[in-house]
Amino acid sequence: MEIIQTPENALSHSIVTAIINAPIEKVNIADWLLNLPDAEYQRCSTQHIGAAISTTYDGEPVSLNVETIGDALMVQHYVAVEHRPDYCRMLSISDSITKGGRTKVQVLWELKATKIDGNTTLYTNEIHATATPEMFEYLKEHNVNLADAAASRQAASDAHNHEETPNFAKSIENKALTGKYNQPF
């Protein structure tokens, strides 16, 4: 069940864009993401540790990602709520592990492709992190206010997004033009 992000529970929101030098007709974000090899995921950020693909009990695709965001080790279980060639809406109740302990955070990850012209596509990588009830308990137990946690998460998430987005775009471009993931950046 999705927790709607409000000012009272927002941790971060980052939007970064990059150019894909391929026509939108060749771009398929859902195919790229839901078949992404572990090594390719790792190549897209120094903070990416591992990735795999699975399904829910209902057969919905799941992208499992392990990465660091700031000082937190994140284990993300992204369910593909919506997945099309030009758009994926991925929702995860993620495990966040820090030196202070473990909690849960909801992460909504949206990947979008928009036509610029016949040879160029705009890629948008948008990430929303939202505090869960477990996160509020964790913050209370550790005497951390939400504003401080959000400021830290915003800086770390935005820096991470700025690193991975151009590399994701290049990987999507390689897949669109060659059908392969392992082309050098």
Q: What is the pLDDT along the chain (185 residues), one digit of tens a residue?
A: 788 888 899 999 999 999 999 999 999 999 999 999 999 999 999 999 999 999 999 999 999 999 999 999 999 999 999 999 999 999 999 999 999 999 999 999 999 999 999 999 999 999 999 999 999 999 999 999 999 999 999 999 999 999 999 999 999 999 999 988 865 55
Chain center to CA of 6: 19
Task: Give which of 65, 71, 21, 19 is closest to 40, Cα–Cα.
Answer: 65
User: pTM for the whole thing?
Assistant: 0.95
In a domain, 135, yes or no: yes
In a domain, 183, yes or no: no
Question: How many whole angstroms separate alpha carbon 122 and alpha carbon 43?
Answer: 21
Q: Whole domain around residue 148: which residue ranges?
A: 10-178
Q: What is the DSSP string of 44-85?
A: T-TTEEEEEEEE-TT--EEEEEEEEETTEEEEEEEEEEEEET
For residue 20, the model assigns a pLDDT of: 98
User: Are the CB atoms for 143 and 26 separated by under 8 Å?
Assistant: no
Q: Which helix (H) or strand (E) holds 102?
A: strand 101-117
What CATH number is given to the structural domain containing 111?
A: 3.30.530.20
For residue 185, the model assigns a pLDDT of: 54
In a domain, 48, yes or no: yes
Domain count across the chain: 1
In a domain, 5, yes or no: no
In a domain, 2, yes or no: no
For residue 184, the model assigns a pLDDT of: 56
